[in-house]
Amino acid sequence: MSSVAARVFRGCRSLLAPASKPITSSSVVSGATKKSAAKSKTKAKPKQRSVSPAKRTSRSAGIFKMTPVSPVLAQFLGTGETNRTDAVKEIWTYVKSHDLQNPANKREIFCDEKLKLIFDGKDKVGLLEITKLLAPHFVKTA
């Protein structure tokens, strides 16, 4: 066994030497690590981040930005201007209320006549296709 240990530690005498005194919990912690051990005993308080009002993102940028929509989507939503998230929410409430979700595959929607106008005449639309098919209905603004 000692030859295996000698090969593993490559003959390092300090690792292979027998302990000169019995090991106790106080003797294990050296002087340099006593300070770090004392720090670990006290709970560190998490830093509070103070976010200034200027740095908070407002709900008027990106997908939350109110943009004009195409006449077809405006007729469906009942408003001529909306943001992308609200448009998707409205479509999902319409799908749920009219039971247009495929029961076998919940990620698929069966389109009725109203949804076919929005989704380029497709009979079925996948979950991930919804935002892609809605993109042309949002008018680009500068």
- CATH number of the domain residue 102 falls in: 1.10.245.10
> What residues make up the domain containing 84?
62-137
How far apart are the C-alpha atoms of 25 and 49, rounded to whole Å?
Answer: 38
Q: Please check whether residue 5 is in contact with residue 16, taking contact to mean a CB–CB distance below 8 angstroms.
A: yes
Among 22-31, 57-66, 92-101, 114-123, name the one with the lowest average pLDDT. 22-31
In a domain, 29, yes or no: no
Percent of the residues in the chain that have a pLDDT greater than 70, as a whole number: 59
In a domain, 11, yes or no: no
In a domain, 51, yes or no: no
pTM: 0.56
How many folded domains does the chain comprise?
1
Q: Please check whether residue 5 is in contact with residue 18, taking contact to mean a CB–CB distance below 8 angstroms.
A: no
In a domain, 104, yes or no: yes
